[in-house]
Amino acid sequence: MIRMARYFFLLIMLSGATYAQKGIDVSRFQDSIDWKKVAKNSNLEFVYVKASEGASIRDQMYTYNLKKAREAGLLVGSYHVYSSRTTAYQQFANFKKAVGKTKQDIIPVLDIEAVHCHKLYMERVDKLLELMEKEYGAKPMIYTSEKLYTTHFNVKKYKPYHFFIANYKREPAVAYTLWQYTQHGKQKGIAGFVDFSRFNKKYDVEDIKISTKDTTSAQQVSKATEKKIGTKTVKKQVPQKQPVKKKSAYKPQSVTTASKQRRK
């Protein structure tokens, strides 16, 4: 009886009859995707595309998937698979080189799975989250299992983050924004299976968009003042308006102008 209930539950979830605003995540394992066909699914709101893994691995289909999915009118974001074998700085450099911040519609995802980590090294996780936020202008979403959430992330400092929880048997019993409910979804335009996810009823796609304000903020990198030459940073002189001379017995005071400075 329990098996039968799970079977019907899975059929309803895969059909999309119960829940709108579904999403998928893809990588090279889905091979060449026909994004025009995929975009015809009216319940499909967003796509996460694998960009990188660890310090050196790049997904060979990333550029194609990102470009074609956006051209088809879907909201697209990128994810990085965390590895405990390399530093946060090395992994961030790999992700940043692949992922242009002006081509992201939704917040980046840091994918943390036990299979890739003998030990998590939470200091590295925290640093990588920090670096991604600074570069892309928004806190990354954390993808993980319900077990890892309970043992590592169920503390106060992670409350501001969105969580993307994988559970293929039931709805997560922990706080989540997105729920990856199956690895065996079927979608026209994609050969084989694809991961499907849906929102917690408290959230929708607007909650994970990179806002115009965030994007603008992420792009303001010392606009008028700095340029790098080799390893040195040279500050350009910002032209100043000459003070208007007034007929007075006193000399005008000089005015100094402070340099302007400025988020996986």
144-167 pLDDT tens trace: 999 999 999 999 999 999 999 999
Reference 196, options 71, 62, 38; nearest CA is 38
Which of 113, 133, 135, 206 is flagged as catalytic?
113
CB contact at 8 A, 130 and 139: no
DSSP assignment string, 186-251: --TT-SS-EEEEEE-TT--GGGGB--HHHHHHHH-SSTTTEEEETTEEEEPPPP-PPPPP-SSSSP
- Domain with residue 88: its CATH number is 3.20.20.80
Q: Provide the terminal-to-terminal Cα distance of the chain, rounded to the nearest Å.
A: 44
Residue 235 located in a structural domain: no
Residue 18 located in a structural domain: yes
Residue 243 located in a structural domain: no
Reference 83, options 50, 125, 29; nearest CA is 125
Residue 234 located in a structural domain: no
Instruction: Convert the pLDDT of each residue in 56-75 to its tens digit.
Output: 999 999 999 999 999 999 99
Query: Which residue range is the domain that position 141 belongs to?
Result: 2-218
**Is the model's pLDDT at 141 over the cut of 90?**
yes
Q: Average pLDDT in the 206-229 region?
A: 53
Residue 162 located in a structural domain: yes
Residue 260 located in a structural domain: no
Domain count along the chain: 1
Residue 191 located in a structural domain: yes
Q: Average pLDDT in the 99-127 region?
A: 91
Asked if 45 is an active-site residue, the reply is no
Residue 180 located in a structural domain: yes
Q: What is the pLDDT of residue 17?
A: 40
